[in-house]
Chains A and B, each alone.
Chain A
C-alpha cells in the first residue's frame, strides 16, 4: 500500500536557521505530494503541493521538490521564524479509483523555533 515516512522529530532550531524536514514515500503510479502544517489547537492547512515529478511547490518561504527517482519530497526553508513553530505533515494522494478523498499522511514532525 501507499505510505509516507517523515524524519523523526522533534526539530528545534534558532530563529533564522535553515530548515530541512525529510519526507519519502512509497506509492504505485504517480501520486500528488503535499505538505500540511498544523498550529496548536487548529486543523491542518495546506502549505504547498506538487503534482508531478520535478515540480517545485513553494509558499511563505518554504519549498519542496517532487523527486521521483528518490521518491522524496523534502521540505526546506532558508530562514525560520518563531511563528513557524508547528507540526508539519507530508502527505500523498493517489489518483487511483479507490482513492477518492484520501490523503495518506506521514507521522508529522514537530518544529520548535527559539528566538
Chain B
C-alpha cells in the first residue's frame, strides 16, 4: 500500500470547515483513499473513502486531486466532538482481506 503523509496537528474554530490534507504521491491506480478518525480512547471510526471521484456522505466530503497524489477531507461545520486523530490510509482494491496500515495521523483540535 502507498505511503501517506499528514501534518501532525491542526486547529480549527468551532463552526468553521476543517480541511485536513493528505499526500499520497506514490498511489497506484487500484488504490483507494480511506479516512478514519479516533476520538480519545475509542476505536477508530470509518469516515469516508474514494477512488478518484469526490465523495460526500453525512459526515464529511473527500476531495481527491485529478492526479490522485493528494486528497483533502472536509468536515463542513466542525464541532468540539470532532476533536480527534484523523488517519488517511491508502489501500489496494482486490488485494485481499488484510488489514489497514495506520500512520500517526493528524490530531485535529476544534477550538471553541
A and B found bound together: no
Q: Which residues of A contact B (CB under 8 A)?
A: none
Q: Which residues of B contact A (CB under 8 A)?
A: none
